[in-house]
């Protein structure tokens, strides 16, 4: 007998999105019939385009700097410098999420101003138009520590549980789970990218079969799964951490040296 199953399918026919476009209308014009419990995973790029998040930038690096709150790591490979930074949304990502692909020359595309608010608005609009209680996840592509390649993750959420909290439940052996909290929003985002693709022109997918994850629009969004920097065990890159340690040690030694001289002068 088969176990639980989900289905994931991409919507076709959305086309190029322009500033001011109504994404609810564009999604429904594909002819999709949404059902209760459906979760739409929407590539954040089309939300940025609809919101007009274009910035003129002769140099993409300038736009990255403007979006950066904290430099985590920087490396130069083959003459190209890659920066891993914390952006204004609290996300740690390469290039602060600034995207220059599929944009006019001399322009770059920034992430939505508030991805959670955008996801909630889209979910609310789809619910109002269809009568179906659906959820929305905004996705973007990120790398992962210690892993090659990239995968899609959730950067915005509306009406969807981001994490399945299994703490306090028991496994098949009867042992209590104490730290198990699968990030189901990231899992759904990654699964959806398998059908959306990167260059297919299909920026929206529908996940069917996980209606248990859909709930009120007041549910916490994807900002709730961003780990605060003070709890991050890898707050800096290796070279940056060594440099910070050297500077902190030098400053401490200098203070100790001054203190010893002050003691001698006092005597």
Per-residue pLDDT of 137-175, as tens digits, reads 999 999 888 889 999 999 999 999 999 877 777 778 887
Element (H, E) at 89: none
Q: Does the pLDDT at position 189 exceed 90? A: yes
Measured distance CA(138)–CA(154) in Å, rounded: 6
Where is average pLDDT lowest: 68-77, 126-135, 184-193, 254-263? 254-263
Measured distance CA(62)–CA(79) in Å, rounded: 17
Q: Are 105 and 114 in contact (CB under 8 A)?
A: no
- Mean pLDDT in the chain? 88
Candidates 91, 140, 120; CA nearest to 219 is: 120
Per-residue pLDDT of 210-234, as tens digits, reads 999 999 999 999 999 998 878 877 7
What tokens appear for 254 in the block?
């200098």
- Environment class of 209 (CB within 10 Å of its CB; exposed 0-12, middle 13-18, buried 19+): middle
Per-residue pLDDT of 40-72, as tens digits, reads 999 999 999 999 999 887 778 888 888 899 888
Per-residue pLDDT of 99-141, as tens digits, reads 877 787 888 999 999 999 999 999 999 999 999 999 999 999 9
Which residue shows structure tokens 């693709």? 197
pLDDT at 180: 78
pLDDT at 238: 66
């Amino acid at each position: 007998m088969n176990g639980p199953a989900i289905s994931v399918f991409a919507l076709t026919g959305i086309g190029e999105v322009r500033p001011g476009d109504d994404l609810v209308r564009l999604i429904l014009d594909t002819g999709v019939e949404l059902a209760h419990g459906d979760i739409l995973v929407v590539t954040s790029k089309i939300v940025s385009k609809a919101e007009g998040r274009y910035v003129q930038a002769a140099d993409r690096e300038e736009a990255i700097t403007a979006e950066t709150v904290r430099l985590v790591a920087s490396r130069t490979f083959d003459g190209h410098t890659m920066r891993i930074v914390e952006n204004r949304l609290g996300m740690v990502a390469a290039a602060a999420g600034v995207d220059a692909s599929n944009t006019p020359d001399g322009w770059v595309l920034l992430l939505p101003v508030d991805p959670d608010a955008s996801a909630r608005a889209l979910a609310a609009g789809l619910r109002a138009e269809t009568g179906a209680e659906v959820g929305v996840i905004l996705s973007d592509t990120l790398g992962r520590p210690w892993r090659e390649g990239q995968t899609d993750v959730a950067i915005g959420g509306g009406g969807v549980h981001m994490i399945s909290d299994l703490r306090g439940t028991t496994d098949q052996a009867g042992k209590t789970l104490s730290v198990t909290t699968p990030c189901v929003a990231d899992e759904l985002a990654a699964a959806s990218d398998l059908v959306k693709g990167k260059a297919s022109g299909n920026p929206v997918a529908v996940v069917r079969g996980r209606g248990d994850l859909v709930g009120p629009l007041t549910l916490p969004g994807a900002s709730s799964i961003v780990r605060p920097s003070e709890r991050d065990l890898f707050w800096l890159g290796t070279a940056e951490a060594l440099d910070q340690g050297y500077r902190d040690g030098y400053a401490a030694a200098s203070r100790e040296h001054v203190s010893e001289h002050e003691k001698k002068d006092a005597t």
